[in-house]
Amino acid sequence: MKPEDVKFFDDARDDMVGILCRLIEQDTTNLPGNEHLAAKVVHEFLDECGIEYKDYEKKPGRTNVVATVGKGRPVLVAAAHMDVVPAGEGWSTEPFKPVVRDGRVYGRGTVDNKGQLASLLYCAKYLKEHEDELNGTFMLIAAADEERGSELGLVYLVDEEIVRADAAIIPDTAGNMREISVGEKGMVRMRVTSYGRQAHASTPELGFNAIWPLVDFLARFRKLDLGGAKHDLFSPPTTNLGLIKGGAAVNIVPAQAEADIDCRYLPGMSGEEICGRLCALAEETMADNPGSKIEVAKLEDMAPFLLSRDEPIITLIQKHANKVLGLEPELTGMAGTTVCKQLVAKGIPSVGYSTGDKGVAHVADEYIAVDEVVDFAKVMYSIVMDYCG
């Protein structure tokens, strides 16, 4: 970067903190979301900068702001989301009253994902001042509904072909700009339902308790090894029993019980294969529990993805992280899920690259370092100027 570029972002430090604080003050807890509150802050900033934008809402109040600088191709997307998870308990500050202390901003949404949004807004502001140097388009998206699946956010924007791009950077992975997520595990969620026959608890022999076969099934499931070849970018496949429901009252023999299961699997594996293995477990359980009936239903299946390590957007991030900050980001694979999956499914090479400490999102006293908010804006500006310059 040129010295004057560095100076712009360094001089904007306090202003970046200011807009981040304003974003945090807007309670966009999902549900209900109310992203329109944060969108108003984004609107005011973009209007001041003369940056073109348009709002898109699949449902009223669930606003997505799509802003552009430059024109034509290539198109590089950067998307940060405005919704946040519930504040929860254990805070030493007020979650939606930001506190700036010891070089950090504290508040719900600082690192997930409003700090990155503040960086991107100032990146767009400086790009607008150099728009005549661009031979392509930077598309900034302030999205809705990421915390609950993005059906009202990026999924909607991609399905409606509002977002069409040549590459995307999703700053929703933390890692202090030292990691680039180039792939994500698959995720399949299943519901296992056991059926019985209701009766009075004083005469259980007249009914069939649906819970006991489910307990037997879950004991077998706990020992299940999903297998899968080892991968240098991913942790092994995982299983989680996340939810159990059963029975209506303590004095009623339950006629139905169910459990929801989450499995994360590696590239080369499939959700269908895992669902099939659970169906086989159900058959084994029923055979050992005469009179039982167990069904396995697939609720959701998101396939894994893994980009080529030579993908241009990856090498570009590595190049500018090194040039601007002296960092050498390593390539990683995620066990979690971001909107990269939906973008990759539409043929848009997408990576996770972000600022922020790990283990800070979704917890009490969430924070982000001010220096990293500024530095992330610098790196993103440098990347866009190279990609679209």
> Same domain, yes or no, for 14 and 94?
yes
> Same domain, yes or no, for 288 and 313?
no
Domain boundary at 240, 274, 301, which? 301
Backbone conformation region of residue 189, classed left if phi is above 0, alpha if psi is from -120 to 50, else beta = beta
62 pLDDT more than 90: yes
pLDDT of residue 228: 79
CA separation for the pair 389, 122 (Å, rounded) = 18
Q: CA-CA distances (angstroms) from residue 313 to 11, 106, 388? A: 28, 31, 12
60 pLDDT more than 90: yes
Domain boundary at 301, 327, 354, which? 301
> Same domain, yes or no, for 172 and 198?
no
Domain that holds residue 253: 186-301
For 366-378, the pLDDT digits (tens) are: 999 999 999 999 9
Domain boundary at 260, 276, 301, which? 301
> Same domain, yes or no, for 210 and 318?
no
Residue 75 pLDDT level (bands cut at 50, 70, 90): very high
> Same domain, yes or no, for 28 and 110?
yes
> Same domain, yes or no, for 360 and 374?
yes
pLDDT of residue 239: 96
CA separation for the pair 187, 93 (Å, rounded) = 35
Residue position matching structure tokens 């609950």: 148
Torsion sign, CA atoms 151, 153, 155, 161: positive
Q: The CATH number of the domain where 213 resides is what?
A: 3.30.70.360
> Same domain, yes or no, for 332 and 316?
yes
Give 202 or 228, the one with higher predicted confidence: 202
Q: How many residues does the chain have?
A: 389
337 pLDDT more than 90: no
> Same domain, yes or no, for 134 and 195?
no
> Same domain, yes or no, for 164 and 256?
no
Domain count, the chain: 2
- Give which of 157, 160, 161, 180 is closest to 170, Cα–Cα: 180
Residue position matching structure tokens 């030579």: 310
379 pLDDT more than 90: yes
For 301-332, the pLDDT digits (tens) are: 999 999 999 999 999 999 999 999 999 999 99
Residue 363: CB atoms within 10 Å: 15
Q: What is the pTM of this model?
A: 0.91
> Same domain, yes or no, for 22 and 129?
yes
Q: The CATH number of the domain where 35 resides is what?
A: 3.40.630.10
CA separation for the pair 241, 141 (Å, rounded) = 34
For 154-191, the pLDDT digits (tens) are: 999 999 999 999 999 999 999 999 999 999 999 999 99
227 pLDDT more than 90: no
Portion of the chain with pLDDT greater than 70, in percent: 100
Tell me, rounded to whole angstroms, the distance of Cα 161 from its chain centroid.
Answer: 20
> Same domain, yes or no, for 199 and 54?
no
For the segment 204-226, the average pLDDT, to the nearest whole number, is: 97
> Same domain, yes or no, for 128 and 243?
no
Residue 133: CB atoms within 10 Å: 11
Which DSSP string corresponds to 371-383?
HHHHHHHHHHHHH
Residue 389 pLDDT level (bands cut at 50, 70, 90): confident
295 pLDDT more than 90: yes
pLDDT of residue 306: 97
